[in-house]
């Protein structure tokens, strides 16, 4: 139980680090841990041009190990949940958006992979 609690807090810390990195680059945080039935988006951001960015954060000992934790099932849930988020916006599914994957390693380094799924799942 303590291990699970530790992992939960490490995940929260990683998400905060990633959000701070985006904010420092001029993005605005619209939502954190946005949940709907069947899925959650770690961070939702917007840039100065109105582009909405959905960020999936993965933390592990190394960047490669963190990335290996992203499954196809998670990616499908992420996209489905992002569609629900977009439905709330004035342009709905026509809102310009992308999905980034942010990796955090054991020493707190962050690697952001913009538009990660551009080539598809």
pLDDT at 9 over 60: no
The C-alpha torsion from 12 through 14 and 17 to 23, rounded to 10°, is -70
Mean pLDDT confidence for 98-112: 96
14: closest CA among 56, 57, 44?
A: 57
Tokens, residue 100 = 């980034």
pLDDT tens profile 31-73: 999 999 889 999 999 999 999 999 999 999 999 999 999 999 9
Residue 54 burial (CB count, 10 A): 23
Return the CATH fold of 2-113: Trna Endonuclease; Chain: A, domain 1 (3.40.1350)
Q: What predicted TM-score, i.e. pTM, was given to this entire model? A: 0.90
pLDDT at 118 over 80: yes
pLDDT at 121 over 70: no
Tokens, residue 60 = 């592990």
Mean pLDDT confidence for 79-107: 96
Domain residue ranges in the chain: 2-113
Residues 6+ apart with CB under 8 A from 106: 60, 61, 62
């Amino acid at each position: 139980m303590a291990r699970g609690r530790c992992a939960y807090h490490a995940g929260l810390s990683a998400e905060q680090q990633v959000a701070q990195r985006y904010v420092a680059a001029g993005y605005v945080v619209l939502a954190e841990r946005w949940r709907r039935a069947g899925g959650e988006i770690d961070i939702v951001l917007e840039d100065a041009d109105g582009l909405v960015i959905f960020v999936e954060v993965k933390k592990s000992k190394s960047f490669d190990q963190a990335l290996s934790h992203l499954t196809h099932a998670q990616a499908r849930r992420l996209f489905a949940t992002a569609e629900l988020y977009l439905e709330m916006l004035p342009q709905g599914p026509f809102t310009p958006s992308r999905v980034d994957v942010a990796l955090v390693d054991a020493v707190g380094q962050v690697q952001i992979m913009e538009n990660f799924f551009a080539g598809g799942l």
